[in-house]
Amino acid sequence: MALDLPNYVARTLGSAVKSLEPVSGGDVALAFRATLADGRVVFAKTRSRGAADFFETEAAGLAWLHEAGAAAIPRVLGASNNPPALLLEWIEIGKPVADTEEKLGRALAALHSAGAPCFGREDRRTTGSRGLPNDPCDSWPEFYASRRLLPLARLASEGGALPPRAIRDLERVSERLEGLGGPHEPPARLHGDLWAGNRLIDVKGESWLIDPAAHGGHREFDLAMMRLFGGFGEACYRAYAEAFPLAPGWEERVALHQLAPLAVHAIKFGGSYREATQRALESLR
């Protein structure tokens, strides 16, 4: 833990830290339940390595998602480069209720419908542990090719994460996106890393979205990521489809949108993700 974290919390929130209790915080950060002397409880996290603006980027993404007024997003209470820290409102964890999944589906549809000014990010901040570029693009094929698949092909090649044939297949898919991607759509406001671990359910059964890699992109990307690792009920997808129907043929495009997260996991962890990436590529040949 950064020794400056308690001082930063106290300085930012105007109350001394009474206790810091470790909580689960992902694979790149140390996270805490911070109880303040005035009785408030907040979420605080820090890290000792990585991009200097890591938490400020996350804070900007959370604020951008929050401003849509669609899904429940924790309020940012503070973000700092030095010390590296992020402070958020505390969400008390509960259990799903009867309409938890349905409400999430409708909230996600509303979030995507809020739109984005471009594919990528206007602030050009990179996202994710591999610092993938988000420079603005005018179209989804341009963005997915130049900001996701080709950079990932390079990283996978340099690190030996994927065999040469898979690297070539990634490059070839990037050249065929106009034909593979379905009807053109305007950029959606994406969470960008929407797996079950980045959804919290509070004591009222409401879903909160955390740890985004927020950017403007194709809305099928979020939905494909959700299906990649599971953890979301069918009622969620049904409610989404009722509120914001997907274009015909979306089922055939799931593997296409899962390519980027699969390649990221192959680069980071290897193992079964290497084979899963190759299977997705084979389905697109």
Average pLDDT over every residue of 103-129? 96
Which is catalytic among the residues 193, 202, 211, 222?
193
pLDDT of residue 1: 46
Question: pTM above 0.75?
Answer: yes
Distance CA 100, CA 165 (A): 43
Where do the CATH 3.30.200.20 domains begin and end in the chain? 5-89
Phi, psi of 75 (to 5 degrees): -70, 135
What integer pLDDT is reported at residue 128 of this predicted model?
81
Residue 107, token pair as written in the block: 């909230």
The DSSP output letter for 147 is I
Calpha distance 227→149 (Å, rounded): 19
Strand duo 188-190 + 41-46: pairing: unpaired
Q: How is residue 68 written in tokens?
A: 């849509």
pLDDT digits (tens, 9 = 90+) for 169-187: 999 999 999 999 999 999 9
d(CA 203, CA 179): 45
* pLDDT 10s digits, 50-66: 567 889 999 999 999 99
Q: Mean pLDDT across the stretch 3-23?
A: 93
CATH 3.90.1200.10 domain range(s) in the chain:
100-283
Q: Which of 18-27, 125-134, 236-245 has the lowest mean pLDDT?
A: 18-27
Please confirm, yes or no, whether 135 is among the known catalytic residues.
Answer: no
Express each pLDDT in 98-114 by its tens digit: 999 999 999 999 999 99
Helix (H) or strand (E) holding 35: strand 30-36
The confidence score (pLDDT) of residue 49 equals 66
Look at residues 194, 188, 252, 251 and name the one whose alpha carbon lies nearest to residue 225: 194
25 band by pLDDT with thresholds 50, 70 and 90: low
Which is higher by pLDDT, 235 or 83?
235
Q: Which residues have CB under 8 Å from 32's CB, separation 6+?
A: 1, 5, 20, 21, 22, 23, 25, 43, 44, 45
Give the whole-number percent of the chain exceeding pLDDT 70: 96
Q: What class is the 100-283 domain?
A: alpha beta
| 85-89 and 76-80 beta bridge pairing | antiparallel
Is the domain 5-89 a CATH 3.10.20.30 member? no
133 burial via Cβ count (<10 Å: 0-12, 13-18, 19+):
middle
Q: What is the pLDDT of residues 178-233, one digit of tens each?
A: 999 999 999 999 999 999 999 999 999 999 999 999 999 999 999 999 999 999 99
Q: What is the dihedral of CA 220, 225, 230, 232, to 10 degrees?
A: -50
Identify the pLDDT of residue 50: 56
Mean pLDDT, range 134-157, rounded to an integer: 98
pLDDT at residue 41, as a whole number: 98
